[in-house]
Chain A
Amino acid sequence: MWNIISFETLRALKKKSFWIASLSPLLIILVIFGIEYFSTKSAASNAAQQAQTFSATAKIGEFDDSGLISQQLIAARHITIEPSKDAGVAAVKSDELDAFFYYPKDPSTMNIEVYAQDKGISFSPPYNTAAIQLLRESVINEVNSTIKNNQVVQILEKDPAVTATTYKNGVETEGLLSVIAPGIFAIAFLVLIVLLASFMISSTAGEKENRTAEMLLTSIKAQTLIAGKIFSIFILGLVQLVTLAIPLLIVLLYFPSQVGLPAGMTLGLIPLNFVPILFGALFFAAGLLLFTALLVGFGAIFPSATEASRFLGVAIIAAFLPIYALQNVISSPHTLIVTIFTYFPLTAPLTALLRNAVGSFSIGESLGALAVIIASAIVAVWFAVRAFRYGSMEYGRRVGIKELLR
């Protein structure tokens, strides 16, 4: 069987289409991360820089009812102090000032008011940022000069890290973080179904198209051949997951805030609970086996990979169907639709993976769903072997299910 596994795996790994398929999701994710990172970073830094430039060059006035604005900063930036709010507004209207900032008595609850010249959409100075910047820097200066505590300044300058503790029925729970580890199996399942489905179908349809089936079947048992093909597909799946996971882990480990992870969130905080992870792995492996065997079998009964791929859409929709009932799967796991999805073979893998991840699965239910998936996978493997044994020599025509069962 090793001969088949190595041959099948290596020939797939040598195909450009495999790597294009494997790397395209990663590329999309990295592009999104990149856009988010650069847009956030550049937007923030640009706004801050523009605000500083604007403050230094424009004619700005202010009136401070809060008493928080630093006189030193006002002097350094050549900001004029207007006699009153009304006077400041009038100065803007008469074009004596580019902008006027009014700081109310309590800026923590009341709005800062900005009055400024309309320079058009294409050249709109960062009036608001400049007004906030002035207040923020004034407060930091004030705190720094009075408290002399570096920690306080740092807390004011950047968001502090947060650790959340949640309880359920008085018992501490791990909250949303506990979904992540078992949830990864659901994501991996969906990713592999999408990426590998065409490989699954063409692994047998290709033998039919290449007219190699008879030579293979006289040299090796159909069971061994199908097992070898399924193993090789699993290896390819593993390669694809690793290809996706390594760069994502690097990004999440070293650039967490830049890609939008919540403040204080690190990979080390993700709880690794044995039971949900074990069930996640079992649902994932059995579900993948079920779909692989099913598609390998369908590849053998259709005359070509192109014709077999018509079945591909049906299989993928069946695999993804639980997504449409996601709200129920998460919040109302004992409704009829979720129960049907949990025990119907084609929807069972993803439903079980999702319920296992969100913690709405008892051990009994998990074992029941696992039994359904494993039994279905065994039937699917039997079907694949039979389909290849009797369907792969029927060149140019589709073999009926009835013929296979005879």
Chain B
Amino acid sequence: MRFGPKEVVKNLSFTVKQGEVFGLLGSNGAGKTTTIRTLLSLLDPTSGTLLVHGKRYTPAMAATVGYLPEERGLYRNEPVLDTMVYFAVMHGLNRSDAKKRVLAYLERVGLSDKAHERLISLSNGQQQKIQLGVTILHEPSLMILDEPTEALDPVNRSLLMNIINEQRTNGSTVILVTHRMEEVEQLCDRILLLKDGISALYGTVDEVKNKFGSTVIALAYSGTVPLNEKLYTITKQLPHYAELAWREGVTVDEIFRFLASVPDLHLTTFDVRRPTLNEIFLTLYK
């Protein structure tokens, strides 16, 4: 994908399987939003093809797709009910069904008394709930959420997580565009990490972790973690947290027994884990 002389997405190829939560990751300017806009035919690709349900996306497929764009907003001077019904009808629902679903959704998110209020009179958090409702009201089989938790307060973030989970349980596919790695860890089955418009990592979360880094032992403690060149090296150390990489041929049991025997060390956590996506992300962008 090219904007004038600048090529913003290069040689990208990926597949999203039905029913999975797919994470499209990358830092700002990596090409995530451009990829999504091209997928939804908002931009024309310079070359190549992007297909949704095996076809080039057209607005005629709107009933099957719920899109929450990065740049989002609603008609601030219009009543909540009118705005939500307008978008729901545009997504293929008939007016009476749309109205019923809107009222049910507002009831669910505690905003039923706001149905006839103008959006501008609602708080930011309440407006975010309305925005989410507009995206999911027509029960799409594919949800594309571009930075969905950006600017969300904790209540709405939790609501969104629940909604994504529900959609997944119901068999919907979710494409989550984000740079928040903790959300990806919690939700995504597979990921694609874009760096400067190029696919830097692609696969299941396990595959990416296996490919990218080795398992570490994470410790939370009080006291001092002693050095032990035979058993491990300390890869990260903070006052009450450390990560250890163990030597070849050494077992976790041996390291645990050793640390448990150190008199001035009191362990509160001993966690054998692989590197987080956040760590992988940071390493990749170093």
Contact = CB atoms under 8 A, between A and B. Distances in A.
Given A219-B59, A220-B59, A221-B59, A211 B71 contact: yes
Given A3-B89, A215-B67, A219-B87, A210 B59 contact: no
Contacts of A221: 58-59
Contact of B40 (A7, A206, A210, A218): A218
Interface in A183-231: 206, 210-212, 214-221, 224
B172 to A, nearest CB: 16
B87 A215 contact: yes
Interface string A155-179: 0000000000000000000000000
Nearest to B90: A219
A299 to B, nearest CB: 15
Contacts of B91: 219
A7 B82 contact: yes
Contact of B37 (A7, A206, A210, A393): A393
Given A3-B89, A220-B59, A220-B62, A214 B42 contact: yes
Contact of B42 (A3, A10, A210, A217): A217
A16 to B, nearest CB: 11
A218 B42 contact: yes
A216 B73 CA distance: 11
A217 B43 CA distance: 11
B78 A11 contact: yes
Interface string B23-65: 0000000000000010011100000000000000111001001
Nearest to A213: B71
A215 B76 CA distance: 15
* Chief secondary structure at chain B's binding surface: loop
A348 B77 CA distance: 37
Contacts of A3: 86, 89-90
Contacts of B78: 11
Contacts of A217: 42, 59
Nearest to B65: A218
B58, B65, B89 — most chain A CB neighbours (10 Å): B89
Interface string A366-406: 00000000000000000000000000010100000000000
B86 A215 contact: no
A385 to B, nearest CB: 13
A208 to B, nearest CB: 10
Given A217-B42, A218-B67, A219-B91, A211 B73 contact: yes
A216 B74 CA distance: 11
A395 B69 CA distance: 13
A227 to B, nearest CB: 13
Given A219-B91, A220-B62, A393 B71 contact: yes
Contact of A393 (B42, B57, B58, B134): B42
B72 interface: yes
Contact of B74 (A10, A11, A212): A212
Contacts of A11: 75, 77-78, 82
Nearest to A15: B77
Given A221-B59, A393-B37, A216 B90 contact: yes
A235 B87 CA distance: 22
Interface of B: 37, 40-42, 57-59, 62, 65, 67, 69, 71-78, 82, 86-87, 89-91, 134
Given A210-B74, A215-B67, 20 more contacts: A3-B89, A11-B77, A210-B73, A211-B69, A211-B72, A212-B73, A214-B69, A214-B71, A215-B69, A215-B87, A217-B42, A218-B41, A218-B65, A218-B67, A219-B59, A219-B87, A219-B90, A221-B58, A393-B42, A393-B71
17 contacts: A3-B86, A10-B82, A210-B76, A211-B71, A214-B67, A214-B71, A215-B87, A218-B40, A218-B57, A218-B59, A218-B65, A218-B67, A219-B59, A219-B62, A219-B87, A221-B58, A393-B71
